A = this chain, B = another copy of it.
Amino acid sequence: MIRYKITFAYDGTNFNGFQRQPKQRTVEGVLTSKINIMAKKPQKTIEVFGSGRTDSGVHALAQVAHFDFPFDLPTEAIYRGLNSMLPLDMEVLKVEKVSDTFHARYDVSGKRYMYRADLGEFSNPFKRNYTGHWKFPVDVDKVRTALTDLIGQHDFSSFVASGSTAKSNVRTIYDAKCFYDEAENEINIEFYGNGFLYNMVRIMVGVAMEIGAGTRPEHDVLRLFDVKDRDQARLTMPASGLYLKKVYYEGDDPEHPTKLPKF
């Protein structure tokens, strides 16, 4: 068996999330089915291991997965074969052969997420599936303050949705930044960290936007770290604005800081 690592993008709008489920159209389900067709339907189904799940409606600009394939095909053949079979809302960007010790999920060293918040008064018809709509005035500097407070190693218990199966809620955010895109009238927020809990990005964005809108005190993030109470973080921003932008692995990660930034 040859282990392949694939990097791929998908528009999450018409997927019921990542994880394979009976009778649901999921990212893992579609990928698994096409890979097994390429392998001429082996007796034992080839399993696909993603770097982690994304929720229904969440997009990926560069998700990563691995699988073991019975034939030693050139990466170019896997690339073309898969892309010719995949539906139009999914595209393989890169295929690599990797050692059979590589694991797309266990070897993750970091992830980068992006959130697009549309500030238009009414929801833009062309952005409804690709942004989260935020119709209140926002002070971008205050959003930035909130994001800076989120950087570092913290217990994110206030920022995790119920249903999380993580043993620990401690995670490290290496970088969190935002900019206002004037042409699009959007706030664009990015988080880079060693891992993210269930709904954590969407909850963090909601808190940062409320701080930006002035409905929360400027340093409320610090209080939320202390109280460890998800109910006090309230809002979960819509899935439609969230993009998994990059998955980092040991060795291929030049942006990974060796020390936490001072702040």
Listed in ascending order, the chain A residues whose CB lies under 8 Å from chain B are 9-11, 59, 83, 88-91, 121-126, 128, 130
Contact = CB atoms under 8 A, between A and B. Distances in A.
B91 A9 contact: no
21 contacts: A9-B124, A9-B125, A9-B126, A10-B125, A11-B125, A11-B126, A11-B128, A59-B126, A83-B121, A83-B122, A88-B123, A88-B125, A88-B128, A89-B125, A89-B128, A90-B125, A91-B122, A91-B123, A91-B124, A91-B125, A126-B130
A90 B126 CA distance: 9
A70 to B, nearest CB: 25
Nearest to A8: B125
Contacts of A59: 126
Nearest to A122: B83
Contacts of A90: 125
A11 B126 CA distance: 6
Contacts of A10: 125
A91 B123 CA distance: 7
A241 B222 CA distance: 47
Nearest to A133: B88
A90 B128 CA distance: 10
A88 B9 CA distance: 25
Nearest to A243: B126
Contacts of A121: 83
A10 B123 CA distance: 11
Q: Can you list the 5 inter-chain pairs with the closest CB atoms, starting with the nearest? A: A88-B128, A11-B125, A83-B122, A89-B125, A88-B123
A228 to B, nearest CB: 35
A93 to B, nearest CB: 9
Contacts of A88: 123, 125, 128
Nearest to A240: B88
A98 to B, nearest CB: 22
Contacts of A9: 124-126
A122 B59 CA distance: 18
A24 B100 CA distance: 52
Nearest to A84: B122
Contacts of A89: 125, 128
Nearest to A124: B91
Contacts of A91: 122-125
A87 to B, nearest CB: 9
A117 to B, nearest CB: 15
A19 to B, nearest CB: 19
Nearest to A10: B125
